[in-house]
Amino acid sequence: MTPIEEIFKVPVYEVKLNLDLNALQSFCKDYESKDKGRVYTNIGGYQSNNLSLKEDALQPLLKEIENHCTLFSNSFINDKNQVVDTIWININKHKDINLSHNHPLSTLSGVYYVKAPPHCGSISFEHPALNVLSYYNASISVSNWNVYNSETWWKEAVENSLYIFPSWLNHLVGPNKNKTEERISISFNTN
């Protein structure tokens, strides 16, 4: 038995879905052509305004999101059903990024990758004690980065993958380094 007891953990839920990517890509691109979008955490790229939860094209995805968010929530928050309250599109072209942020007034947040070509940027999660950990790591020589001492942890953008995390967890999206193809994702919040 190890003398180390893990007392605080941050869960991130990951599942591969089997949705119609062509239909969702068409929906996202069509929506982009009609909606001016907004600038929130995105530097470059397109972020839609909040989508209607009644959009026909989103119904299979919304069902999956609410099902998996409820399963995730039941494991560490409560036994109530999670319901999507906001959802939006992100389209990042070459070098576009999303700055570090979190999602206040929500329980869970997440991202679903509609299109994720090679080198299109990953989602990174920041350690909740990042400010303190950065001082700690600056003063020692870390030879093995792990879940205890890493300032960030990343997940690769993978098509048809859904990532869910606590809304308070700071996260960012690295630059799309693919010069010819864009990354398309759909982000959401639940309560």
Length of the chain measured in residues? 191
Question: Is 109 in contact with 125 (CB distance < 8 Å)?
Answer: no
Confidence of residue 137 (pLDDT cuts 50, 70, 90): low
Q: Domains in the chain and their CATH numbers?
A: 13-126+156-190 (2.60.120.620)
**Which pLDDT band, with edges at 50, 70 and 90, does 141 fall under?**
low
> Residues 33-74: pLDDT tens digits?
999 999 999 999 999 999 999 999 999 999 999 999 999 999
Helices (H), the chain: 21-34, 59-76, 130-138
Residue-wise DSSP of 164-188:
EEETTS-EEE-----SS--EEEEEE
140, pLDDT greater than 70: no
